Chain A
Amino acid sequence: MQTTLKSFHSLEVAELKELVIAGRKFTSRLFVGTGKYPSPDILRQSLAASGTEMVTVALRRVSLTEPDPTIAAIDFDKYLVMPNTSGAKDAEEALRLARLARTASGLDWIKLEVTPDPVYLLPDPAETLKAAEVLVKEGFIVLPYIHADPTLARRLEDIGCAAIMPLGSPIGSARGIKTEEFLRIIIEQASIPVVIDAGIGMPSHAAQAIELGADAVLVNTAIAVAVDPVLMAEAFCLAVQAAEKALLSGPIEQQTRATASSPLTEFLE
């Protein structure tokens, strides 16, 4: 996300670049995953409290005995519902999932994730790139989940991905933005939106990502598994808005030395 200076009431204030992915405009920079909520009703309320316009879902075999009630809680007219390819261990499985997801959703949007490693769920860069190339050619709007690798991010942008989703730390780990230096490079270089995906555990992490210049964040576990998911969803909404307002306000530069905020005269001088 780039900020540009704009003259406003004789003040120099920043203007945030609008978030547009594949021609679709988003006013909320918070995307929300729909896994692991305690009930469909809590999911519905949490999505409303988050102010999100984009939610993610997974694709699984239908249980013929116990249908999953979760999806009924999602308003497909209100939110853009983006399926993911979670569970894919290689490019071939991701392609199969993406093609099935497209017939089920009727939409071209796909969050591409290829995670063969069961311990850290880290994305496989080679398989992700391979799958992304095919999906882009098949007309998908591809948002790949990747490590915070600036070179890979560039390659994915070059082949036509709609946005990139680098991780802050492993999925569901709640460890926050541990890849900051590389996210900075990705954000600096990218011409497509950058959505920080995994590892966000607290609203402060989401604010940090937006302050770094990320276009959006995707949060799931931190909201879904909180004792009160609806309250946490609201907290994330406020944190993202706080960071946006901070960027708009024209934040000060970091200094190594102190700068007094009180007058630098001796007491009673």
Chain B
Amino acid sequence: MKLIINGDEQIFDHPVATIAQLLEQLAVPVARTAIELNGAVVEQHQIETTALQDADHIEIVSFVGGG
């Protein structure tokens, strides 16, 4: 399965069914993380249920220090 994550193409041996599963595989915590799937914001409560398709574009963003 191919996914474009933060601009980089990544190949997964097994299908990744949901965004929650993807975050788990990438060791990214769900809390204080924001997700865009193909340009649309995925709300926190939708992370568990939002399904992924081959060639989806996913942005994973979180907080960093800033002024």
A joins B in a complex: yes
A59 to B32, CA, bound (A): 10
A64 to B25, CA, bound (A): 11
1/0 per position for B24-37, CB-CB distance to A under 8 A? 00101000111110
Q: Is the CB of B67 within 8 A of A104?
A: no
Residue of A whose beta carbon sits closest to that of B47 = A103
Q: Is the CB of A104 within 8 A of B33?
A: yes
Q: Please report whether the interface of chain A is mostly helix, strand, loop or mixed according to DSSP.
A: mixed
Chain A residue total in the interface (Cβ 8 A): 35
Q: Is the CB of B62 within 8 A of A104?
A: yes
Report the minimum CB–CB distance from A141 to chain B (whole Å): 17
- Contact check: which of B35, B60, B61, B65 meets A35 at CB < 8 Å? B65
A106 CB contacts on chain B under 8 angstroms: 44
B59 CB contacts on chain A under 8 angstroms: 61, 100
10 contacts between A and B (CB under 8 A): A36-B65, A57-B64, A58-B66, A59-B34, A59-B62, A60-B61, A100-B59, A103-B35, A103-B41, A171-B67
Residues of B within 8 A of A (CB): 5-7, 26, 28, 32-36, 41-44, 59-67
Residues of A within 8 A of B (CB): 33-37, 43, 56-62, 64, 67-68, 70-71, 76, 81, 83-84, 86, 99-101, 103-106, 171-172, 218, 220-221
